[in-house]
Structure 1
């Protein structure tokens, strides 16, 4: 196992915050500060410049970060390879997912995976696609499931399944009388949108642009950070939203919301992302294959 001080230093260097690093490591901030102080005393140099309300790496800190990433990666690889020699799938699995996937698609997949491999300790981090992609690139997540191809260099994107998005509204909203909706049909109605950085927001903006409608010209009433928040506002009758078919399945069955397909259909690929040039454990490879298979089955 790698030196704990290096693990703490790596977290602080990546977050550039003692407080956020402490939260990520489940430590107190004084404990994090003590570990960094010990490391600085060992090398007789400062690793961070303390500024008003912020910190930055010194040149020595940049060098230590470069080696810390190599040492921690090798330590993880050693632990995994030794574990694999026993023939048992075990260890931590850090999975990140965008909110739509995390709330409506992934829980069952993780539950079934855990039933097959009970010694695996999966941890799910939920954020929008942009945040998940960045955390995978920083190696603070093993794998991410997002709603658009990765934009950050050094990441490998694999399509895991297809998803279709539809308009949702309450049964007495004016759009409810339509059997299908074209992009131009939506321009005069109140739109409840996802927030910038969301994969859903990115694909809906592109859809409107491709059909001659500038997203900024829509009557956007709110920008919200989760599918549940979208449904909550739409259920008040304030406007319509565009979401994955999986998002409103329960509300449609109960008659609380209607879903209306778009014409032409709005479909997207969902992606598994992981670092390109990094050792992949048998656990990670197994999970990626399992998740792709299960998500494809549920999309049919």
Structure 2
């Protein structure tokens, strides 16, 4: 029921590109241009300034962007609440999840949720924790699931699972002879770690600081963008990785990896739902309640 032109406008405004908006919305670029021209005709003003190969929002465009976000959010809430009157759950729910959660935690939740609420259109954006928070602030997703301990002041976080980071090596590595090492010894071990912006690296940095050790004191061989990349890297080197214990269940059972204890280094963390302040209803709330119930029955 919402004016699709507003959705098109927000996509162009967010990407500052007609081409990227067409790719995001799966419609042609001429169709994107047509919708924008219609809005400019209705309001009798330009919404974008054309600056060579670039575009920028005009003052009118900035105003329309502010109102469009609220209007589309209100339509989404209206659609959800009207269907609740018929004891139905339908509409669109856009999730964003950090890499570890998206790969190792969320899939069973999603499968059960779709089975229970087949009328809900579900999508998932995957990135590191900072990417997910950014997408939420830009209204590209409705609900985020992040790891780590850094909190943005204008977002609301709700814990839903506990997790622990562990040091892991391949059973073919020279390091496999160790059962436990100290933090000081860890500084000399070649490491492969997750990238900047990941919740995993945030937790590790904070844990090391409690021992007056900085990341720059470590022998970091490489930063990689996913836990799967780290696991494959470890299979072919004598490095050590720091990953979620949830991500290596199968490899531990298969005897491919071994966890090395690091004495007195606490690397526990929380997985949290994150949403905009004031967003307390709609499909996001339904998903959170469902996930909490499902988690208790695991």
- Alignment check: 8 A CA contact 2:168 2:241 kept: yes
Match of 2:257 in 1: 257
Question: Deviation of residue 295 (structure 1)?
Answer: 4.2
Give the direction of change, closer, same or farther, for the CA distance of 1:289–1:23 in structure 2 (3 Å limit).
same
Q: Describe the SS at the equivalent of 1:261.
A: strand
What is the deviation of 1:29? Answer: 2.5
How far did 1:279 drift?
A: 5.6
Distance (whole Å) between structure 2 residues aligned to residue 16 and residue 32 of structure 1? 12
Are the structure 2 counterparts of residues 3 and 150 from structure 1 closer, same or farther at C-alpha, using a change threshold of 3 Å?
farther
Alpha carbons of structure 1 residues 62 and 235: separation in structure 2 relative to 1, 3 Å: same
| Paired position in structure 2 for 1:268 | 269
Equivalence map 1:103-114=2 (5 Å): 103-114=103-114
Counterpart position of 1:36: 36
Q: Contact 2:149–2:269 at 8 Å: present in 1 too?
A: no
Q: Summarize deviations over 1:247-299 as a string: whole Å, max 9, x none.
A: 11111111111122333231011111011223621x3222102223444665x
Contact residue 47 and residue 58 of structure 2 kept, 8 A:
yes
Structure 1 residue 106 displacement after superposition: 0.6
Structure 1 residues 189 and 135 mapped into 2: Cα distance closer, same or farther (>3 Å)?
same
Secondary structure of the 1:285 match is: helix
The answer to whether the Cα contact below 8 Å between 1:97 and 1:125 also exists between their aligned partners in 2 is yes
Report which stretch shifted further, 127-136 or 166-175: 166-175
Report the counterpart of residue 184 of structure 1 in structure 2.
184
Name which of structure 1's ranges 28-37 and 136-145 shifts more when overlaid on structure 2: 28-37
Q: TM-score if structure 1 supplies the norm length?
A: 0.92
CA distance in 1, matches of 2:32, 2:182: 55
Q: What is aligned with 1:17?
A: 17
Paired position in structure 1 for 2:171: 171
Q: Counterparts in 2 of 1:133-152, with a 5 A limit? A: 133-149=133-149, 151-152=151-152
- CA contact under 8 A between 1:156 and 1:273: conserved in structure 2? yes
Per-residue deviation, 1:43: 2.1
Q: Secondary structure at the match of 2:262?
A: coil
Aligned mates of 2:195, 2:225 — CA distance in 1: 6
**1:121 Cα deviation (Å)?**
2.4
Q: CA RMSD in A?
A: 1.9
Q: Residues 296 and 54 (structure 1 numbering): CA distance in 2 closer, same or farther, change over 3 Å?
A: farther
Q: Whole-Å Cα distance in 2 between the matches of residues 43 and 178 of structure 1?
A: 70
Structure 2 residue ranges without an equivalent (≥5): none
Q: Cα distance, 1:178 vs. partner?
A: 2.2
Instruction: Please name the residue that 1:119 is paired with.
Output: 119
- Structure 1 counterpart of 2:49: 49
Unaligned runs of 5+ in 1: none
Instruction: State whether residues 166 and 242 of structure 1, in contact with CA within 8 Å, keep that contact through their aligned partners in structure 2.
Output: yes
**Distance of aligned partners of 1:186 and 1:53 in 2 relative to their CA distance in 1, 3 Å threshold:** farther
1:120-155 deviation digits (Å, cap 9, x = unpaired): 222121111001111112222111110035633432
Pair 1:101-2:101 in alignment: yes
Distance 1:88 1:94 in 2: 18
Shift in Å at residue 42 of structure 1? 2.4
Deviations 1:26-84 (A, max 9, x none): 22223212211221222222111222443221111111112212221222222222211
Tell me the number of residue pairs that the alignment of Structure 1 and Structure 2 aligns.
297
- Relative to structure 2, which stretch is displaced further, 82-91 or 257-266? 257-266
1:241 aligned counterpart, secondary structure = strand
